[in-house]
Structure 1
Amino acid sequence: MPLHPLTAPAPALRSVLAALASPTAPRPAPGSVRPELPLPVHVLDRIRPHAGPPSGTLPGPPHTRLTGWRFLLHSGERAVAAADTVLTPDGWTFSHIVEGPYVAAGERALRQAEALPAPYQPRLLSVPELYMLTLWLHGDLDAGPAEGSPRPTDLLVPLAPAPPGIAAHRPHRVAELLPVLTHRIAPAPLLGSPA
C-alpha cells in the first residue's frame, strides 16, 4: 500500500532550494540534486517510566513535538544526503545538510514501508537520549504534521545504526517498542551507600 506523505510548508522547501542554489552551499555530491519526499521530524520529549517490567501496555502517552522537516536529496535514483529545515521566529529556514548512515537507512526504511499492507503517514521520530532515529509510520492519515502522538498500533522502524539490542529496519509496534525505550531512558535505581 502506498505511503501518504505530508506536504512540507512551501517556505521550508524554498529555503532548501535557495541553500542548494547558493554558490557557498556545501555540495553533498557532484551534479544536480533535488529535494524529494519531505518528512516531518518529531522529537520524543517525554515518556513516563513504567513501574516494573514491560507489560505490553504503553507506559503513558508519549509526547512528541514537530521540530523540522527533512528532505531527501536525490541525485539520479538514490538519496545522497538530506537537507533539514527548522522553524524560527521568522518562519521555516534551511538548517543543514545531513550525510552519513541515516540517509541510506531512511531511504531503505521508506522502501520497506511501501510494501506494507496498510497505509501510513511517514514521519521521522528522534529519541535524543538514545541517539536513535526511527521512521514513524503513523496510522492517522488525516493528522496534520504537528498533530498526533505515536499510537499503540503505529509502527516505528529504527534506522541503522540503532542502539544495541534494538533491531534496525524491523517494524515494531509502538506498544512493543515504547516500553523498551522507556526502560532504557529511565534512570538507574540508586543503590544503597556502602556501609
Structure 2
Amino acid sequence: MPLHVPPAPAPALRSVLAALGSPTAVRAARTPSLRTAQGPARPDLPLPVHELDHTGAQAAPADGSPTTLTGWRFLIRCGERAVAAAETMLTPDGWAFSHFCEGPYIPSAELALRQAEALPTPYQPRLLSVPELYMLTLWLHGDCTADAEGGAVAPADVLVPLSPAPPGIAAHRPHRAADLLAALSHRLTPAPLLGSPA
C-alpha cells in the first residue's frame, strides 16, 4: 500500500532549494558526501519532524501522546542515491533552512520507508524524535488525511525505530505506538532523588 507523503510547506522547500543552490551553504555543511556528490542535488521525501512531549510516553493517554512539530526533513538525492538530509525549522518569520546532515539516518530512513510501503495498511509517514533517548523513529500515522504538522501519536499508529536505536530497542522493527511508548516510559521517567546519608 503506498504511503501518503504529506506535502511540505512551500517556504520550507524553497529554503532547502536556496541552500542547495548556495555554494557557501554546501561548502560549509559538514556533509562530505553532499560536497563531493556528482550531478544536481534535489530534495525528496519531505517528512514533518515531531518531538515527543516529555510526558507523552509516560502518560500514554487514550487519545494519543502529544507531540510538538520541530521541523521538516528532506532527503537530498543525487541521481537515484540519497547522499544527505536537509532540515528546516520554524522561525518567527516562517520556515527557514536549518542544516544539512548525513550519517546512519539516511540509509535507515530509506529502508524504513521501503518496509512501510510493503505494509497492507495506508499510512501518513512522519518522523518522531525522542531527544532524551537520542532516538528517531519513522512514525506511521493511521489518518492519511490529517494535518501533518499537528496531532498526537495515536495508540494504534506504528513506530519504526531508526538506526542506531537505543540499547534494547531493535531498529527497523515495527511497533504499535502504545506498546513502544509504554516500553520507553521507564527510560523517560526521572530517577527518584535519594536522601542524604544520615
Would the TM-score normalized by the shorter structure come out above 0.5?
A: yes
**Does 1:47 find its partner at 2:55?**
yes
**Does 1:148 find its partner at 2:151?**
yes
Q: Deviations over 1:87-116 (max 9, x none)?
A: 111111110001111111111110110100
**Does 1:159 find its partner at 2:162?**
yes
Task: Specify the SS of the correspondent of 1:143.
Answer: coil
After TM superposition, which residue ranges in structure 1, 4 or more long, deviate above 2 angstroms? 46-50, 58-61, 189-195
Percent identity over paired residues: 69
Query: Aligned partners of 2:194 and 2:21: how far apart in 1?
Result: 57
**Does 1:104 find its partner at 2:107?**
yes
Q: Between Structure 1 and Structure 2, which shows a larger proportion of helix residues?
A: 2
Of 128, 135, 152, which residue of structure 2 is paired with 1:125?
128
Query: Aligned partners of 2:55 and 2:4: how far apart in 1?
Result: 27
Query: Aligned partners of 1:192 and 1:69: how far apart in 2?
Result: 44
Query: Aligned partners of 2:153 and 2:76: how far apart in 1?
Result: 27
Task: Specify the SS of the correspondent of 1:112.
Answer: helix
Structure 2 residue runs without a partner (length 5+): 28-33
Task: Specify the SS of the correspondent of 2:76.
Answer: strand
Normalization by structure 2: what TM-score?
0.89
Query: Aligned partners of 1:87 and 1:193: how far apart in 2?
Result: 44
Q: Deviations over 1:124-178 (max 9, x none)?
A: 0000000000000000111112221111110000000000001100000011100
Query: Aligned partners of 2:189 and 2:173: how far apart in 1?
Result: 23
Of 10, 32, 41, which residue of structure 2 is paired with 1:33?
41
Query: Aligned partners of 1:146 and 1:49: how far apart in 2?
Result: 19
Query: Aligned partners of 2:37 and 2:82: how far apart in 1?
Result: 13
Structure-2 change in CA distance of 1:49 and 1:187 (3 Å): farther
Q: Deviations over 1:61-112 (max 9, x none)?
A: 4210111100100112221100000111111111000111111111111011
Of 169, 178, 183, which residue of structure 2 is paired with 1:175?
178
Deviates most, 182-191 or 37-46: 182-191
The AA in structure 2 aligned to 1:131 is Y
Task: Specify the SS of the correspondent of 1:12.
Answer: helix
Match of 2:96 in 1: 93
Match of 2:60 in 1: 59
Query: Aligned partners of 1:48 and 1:134: how far apart in 2?
Result: 15
State the aligned residue count.
188
Match of 2:20 in 1: 20
Query: Aligned partners of 1:121 and 1:11: how far apart in 2?
Result: 21
